[in-house]
Amino acid sequence: MFPDARVAVIGAGPAGSFFAHILLIESIRRGLYPIVTIFDSKDFETAGRRNCNMCAGTLSGWLVDELEAEGYRFPHQVVQTHIHGYVVHSRDRQARLAQRPDARIYTVFRGVPFPELTHERGSFDQFLLDHAIAMGARYIRSSVKGIDLPASPGEPIRIRHCQPADSVHEADLVVGAFGVNSPLAKQFLPGYKVPKVWRAFQGEILVGRDLIASRYGDHVHIFLGDGQRIKFLALTPKRFHVTLTAIGPNVKRLDVAARLRESDTAPFLPEDWKFRCHCHPAFPVSSAEKPYGDRVVVIGDACISRYLKNGIESAWYTALFAVQTILDHGFSEADFRAHYFRACRRKYERDNRFGRLIFGLNDLFCRLPILANAHIEAVRHEQAFERPKDRRHSQVLWDVFTGDRSYARIFLSCCHPMLHARTGWETARELWRRLRNGMGRP
Ligand SMILES: Cc1cc2nc3c(=O)[nH]c(=O)nc-3n(C[C@H](O)[C@H](O)[C@H](O)COP(=O)(O)OP(=O)(O)OC[C@H]3O[C@@H](n4cnc5c(N)ncnc54)[C@H](O)[C@@H]3O)c2cc1C
C-alpha cells in the first residue's frame, strides 16, 4: 500500500470500526499514513430502531480479552452486565451452567435502548467508532448509494453518498462493511453475491431491576423452540431490560408471543409485558460469492460469519484478514482472492459444516422432549457429582453458547463414548419416569 492511500470504509458496525482500527495501528507500525474515512448514516447515540445494529449483544470472553489487549477500554456505561453463566431450559426442566473461572462474558447494547434511558448512553457501536476516530479515522454520517469503479487502474474509485445531497468521495481502496441488512449489498460490486440469510426476531422488554435480580441473576436463559419456526430463544438480561432473541429461518412476532405464553418462559416476564421495540434482523447462514474486486473488499457479515454465533468476533477476524492482505500482499482482485478470502473460508467454511450438524441436534431436542430432558438431567448430574473435567455434556453446551471452541472440536467432544453412555442412561430413566407417571407426562 502506498503511504497516504485514501481508504473508504462503508459501514460503522463492528467490522468497519475494527477494520479502521487495525489498519491504522498496523500502518503506523510500518511508517504508512493512510487516510481512512468511515461512512454510516446511523446515529448510535439516539434511541430507536433506525439507529441500532440489532443483536443480542453478548461478547465472548475471548473477544473481550482480545479487544482489551488491542487497547480498547470498556467504560462502565458500555458493559450492560457481566454474565456468569447460562441456564438451559427444556419445557419442564432446567440446568445451570456456571461460569468457568477464566471466562469473562459481557453484554452490551448496540444503540440506545429506550428514549427514557438516554442518560444510560453506552452504545457499543458508538464506542467502537469513537475508538477508530481516536486512532485517526474520519467519520462522515451519510448513507452510500453506490460506487463507480474507474475505467483505468490509476484513477480513484468514486463513492456516491447522500450528505450533503449527491456528494462524491474519491478513494484508492473501498471496504464494504455494510452487513446483510443493507440494500447496497445487492448492487455493490459485479459478481458479488450477499450471503444467504435467515430473519431472526429481536425484542427489548423493560422488566426492571427487581425481576432481573430475582429471576435472571447474571445468567442468559436459553429455551428450546419448536425446531421449525423457532430453533431456540434466548433471554439476555441487561441493566434495566431484557433482550429477547429468537432464531429461526423467518421468525414471526406472533410465534414468539405464543412461545412466551408457555409455562417455562412466562415467569421471566412481568404480567403486563410488551415489546418496547422489536425488529427482524437478517443474519448470514452461508458465505458471500466473490466478496472482492480490484481495490474493493467486503468484510464482516456481508462476507462470512460463524454459523449462528459470535458475529462480532467474525467481524474482527474478517477485518484482520483484510488488513493483513492489504499490507502484506496488496489490494488487487488477485490478492484478495488468494489471501483474504482464502483465510476467511479456511477459518469458517469447513467449521460451519460442523456447526450445522451441532444445531441439527438442537432440532432433535425440540422434537423429542424425552431426549431434551435426558440431556438436561445429564448436565444436572454432572454439575452435582462429577469433577469439572468430566462434565462432558456441560462442556459441550458451554462451548456452543459461548463459542469458545471451534464447532469441529465441539463435535469431537460430542463423540465421546462416556457422553453417549450417560445420555442413554438418562433417556432410559426419563422413559421409566414417564411410564410410571402415565405416558406423555414428565
Ligand atoms: C438477532 C441477532 C442476534 C445476534 N447476537 C449476537 C451476539 O450476541 N453476539 C455476537 O457476537 N453477534 C451477534 N449477532 C451477529 C452480529 O450482530 C453481526 O455479526 C455483526 O453486527 C456484524 O457486523 P458488521 O459490521 O459486519 O455488520 P452490521 O453490524 O450490520 O453493521 C453494518 C453497518 O453498515 C451500515 N450501512 C449499511 N448500508 C450502508 C450504506 N449504504 N452506507 C453507509 N453505511 C451503511 C449500517 O448502518 C451498519 O451500521 C446477532 C445477530 C442477530 C441478527
Phi, psi (rounded to 5 degrees) for 227 = 90, -15
In sequence order, the β-bridge partners of residue 96 are 87
pLDDT in tens, 155-175: 999 999 999 988 999 999 999
- Which amino acid, one-letter code, is at 3? P
C-alpha distances (whole Å) from 175 to each of 11, 261, 335, 417 are: 9, 44, 14, 47
* Nearest CA-CA partner of 47 in 183, 204, 178, 201: 204
In this predicted structure, what is the pLDDT of residue 61?
86
In this predicted structure, what is the pLDDT of residue 47?
80
pLDDT category of residue 112 using cuts at 50, 70 and 90: confident
In this predicted structure, what is the pLDDT of residue 117?
63
- Of 119 and 262, which is predicted with more confidence? 262
Q: b/e string for 132-164 if b means 16 or more Cβ within 10 A?
A: bbebbbebbebbbeebeeeeeeeebbbbebeee
Task: State the average pLDDT for the chain.
Answer: 92
* Nearest CA-CA partner of 24 in 137, 118, 117: 137
pLDDT category of residue 121 using cuts at 50, 70 and 90: low
In this predicted structure, what is the pLDDT of residue 438?
73
Is pLDDT of 386 > 60? yes
CB 231 within 8 A of CB 366: yes
Is pLDDT of 125 > 60? yes
pLDDT category of residue 116 using cuts at 50, 70 and 90: low
Edge to edge, the sheet with strand 105-107 lists 58-59, 105-107, 81-83
In this predicted structure, what is the pLDDT of residue 62?
87
Residue nearest to atom 50 of ligand 1 (CA): 55
Residue 39 Cβ < 6 Å to ligand 1:
yes
pLDDT in tens, 265-311: 999 999 899 998 899 999 999 999 999 999 999 999 999 999 999 99
Residue nearest to atom 37 of ligand 1 (CA): 178
CB 18 within 8 A of CB 312: no
- Which amino acid, one-letter code, is at 408? A
How many angstroms separate the CA atoms of 121 and 91, rounded? 36
pLDDT in tens, 173-198: 999 999 999 999 988 999 999 999 99
Residue 107 Cβ < 6 Å to ligand 1:
no
- Which amino acid, one-letter code, is at 217? G
Is pLDDT of 119 > 70? no
Q: Which residues contact 370 (CB under 8 A, 6 or more apart)?
A: 427, 430, 431, 434
Give the other-Cβ count within 10 Å of 441's Cβ: 9
C-alpha distances (whole Å) from 438 to each of 2, 374, 434 are: 76, 18, 6
pLDDT category of residue 76 using cuts at 50, 70 and 90: confident
In this predicted structure, what is the pLDDT of residue 388?
87
3-state secondary structure of 173: strand
pLDDT category of residue 134 using cuts at 50, 70 and 90: very high
Query: What is the arithmetic mean of pLDDT over 35-50?
Result: 90
Distance, C-alpha 223 to centroid of its chain:
18
- Of 116 and 107, which is predicted with more confidence? 107
Percent of the chain whose pLDDT exceeds 90: 74
Q: Which residues contact 187 (CB under 8 A, 6 or more apart)?
A: 146
Residue nearest to atom 4 of ligand 1 (CA): 55
Residue 202 Cβ < 6 Å to ligand 1:
yes
Q: Which residue of 37, 54, 55 sits with most ligand 1 atoms within 8 Å of its CB, as the best mutation to test the pocket?
A: 55
How much is the pTM?
0.94
Phi, psi (rounded to 5 degrees) for 282 = -85, 150
In this predicted structure, what is the pLDDT of residue 441?
55
Residue 67 Cβ < 6 Å to ligand 1:
no
Residue 144 Cβ < 6 Å to ligand 1:
yes
